[in-house]
Amino acid sequence: MAVRFIDKLLGTTRQNNSLLCIGLDPDLDLLPKVKALDFNKAIIDATVDLVCAYKPNLAFYQVLSSKGISLLESTIKYIPEGIPIICDAKYGDIGNTAKVYAEAIFSTLGFDAVTINPYLGLDSIEPFINYRDRGVFVLCRTSNPGAADFQSLSCATNLALYEVVAQKAKEWNIYGNIGLVVGATYPEELRQIRQLCPEMPLLIPGIGAQGGDLTLAVSYGVDAQGEKAIINVSRQVLYASQKEDFAEAARHQAKQLRDQINSCLASRSEVK
């Protein structure tokens, strides 16, 4: 029987004492003088004991055409089996197409989880949810500045759209494999969503280059046990150096972030 995503996540979280997720996004404009696969492998080798998950963003691979898909496949195979891999794709399409997307991500490529856009409703998400051992992270309150254009709009229920999304995701979570994407750049909304969905894993981007507050992201994002918050950082770790020491610099940044997260957790526990 396949290991459920949430069990895999909690296993790695506890083994590495970490809520840190690193986005494996090889940007050719920022890479040091090394091949993309060698870069990914070096980053993984340098951080494998410091993370709870890795999150490749599909766009950085698709832009490289067939070579990019090969790079992605090789990267997935290189990551140790016990560490969950989240595909950041933000898919959202009609049910028939969503079924093929889900098969591609979970069966063909072998990802443990994926990010999904809920705009088309349940039938567009259901094919992903039906992979009961995989994780499905629904975009709820994203970290980008334009998120407010729609996500903060008031609905007929007098709830903001992101609150409706959180409630719907909770209703749909019949297999216990749904999570939410909530940006660290909106800490009050993050706190509110955690209160609405106390048991769900939250994927929390927006730390580092986007300026989110790490202390608040940890304090508001974790569950009652101090877990199920996946604090994602990409550029701050990946491109800590663009010289030959890039892997060492990435490890230094990752360890610093992991330790800062754990310090925030400790402070939170002391307050309680």
- Cite the active site residues: 90
Contacts with 142 (C-beta within 8 Å, 6 or more apart), sequence order: 151, 181, 182, 183, 205
Q: What is the DSSP letter of 174?
A: T
Angle between helices 65-78 and 36-47 (to 10 degrees): 20
Asked whether the beta carbons of 148 and 183 are under 8 A apart, the reply is no
Q: For residues 194 and 106, what is the distance between their CA atoms, to the nearest angstrom?
A: 27
Q: Which two tokens stand for residue 68?
A: 């990019």
Three-class secondary structure of residue 225 per DSSP:
coil
Q: How far is CA 246 from the centre of its chain?
A: 23
Q: For residues 42 and 250, what is the distance between their CA atoms, to the nearest angstrom?
A: 9
